[in-house]
């Protein structure tokens, strides 16, 4: 065993945590910008407000999208794009 056992995994975990924190910050920024009144209504007792805002945006997006199967979404996009679907 080398002295670097576990190092790649730790680097991966740190990178993943940074990526997730950045994405949560991006989503929270959307809510702060697009829905500042809603952002202010978020409960403060759920922990990290950035994470709560990110989850709120993700949930609203999923509700809007109605979580259709990929095949249905692709079919809808093909019909939406002129010339995208066969006649």
Q: What is the mean pLDDT of residues 25-36?
A: 87
The pLDDT tens digits of the residues spanning 40-64 come to: 877 777 788 888 888 877 777 777 7
The pLDDT tens digits of the residues spanning 32-43 come to: 888 888 788 777
% residues pLDDT > 70 (the chain): 74
Cβ proximity of 60 and 27 under 8 Å = no
pTM of the predicted protein model: 0.57
d(CA 60, CA 66): 10
């Amino acid at each position: 065993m080398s002295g670097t056992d576990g190092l790649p995994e730790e680097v991966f975990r740190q990178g993943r945590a940074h990526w997730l924190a950045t994405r949560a910050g991006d989503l929270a920024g959307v809510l702060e910008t697009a829905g500042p009144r809603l952002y202010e209504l978020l409960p403060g007792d759920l922990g990290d407000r950035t994470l709560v805002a990110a989850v709120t945006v993700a949930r609203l997006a999923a509700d809007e999208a109605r979580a259709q199967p990929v095949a249905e979404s692709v079919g809808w996009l093909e019909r939406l794009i002129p010339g995208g679907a066969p006649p």
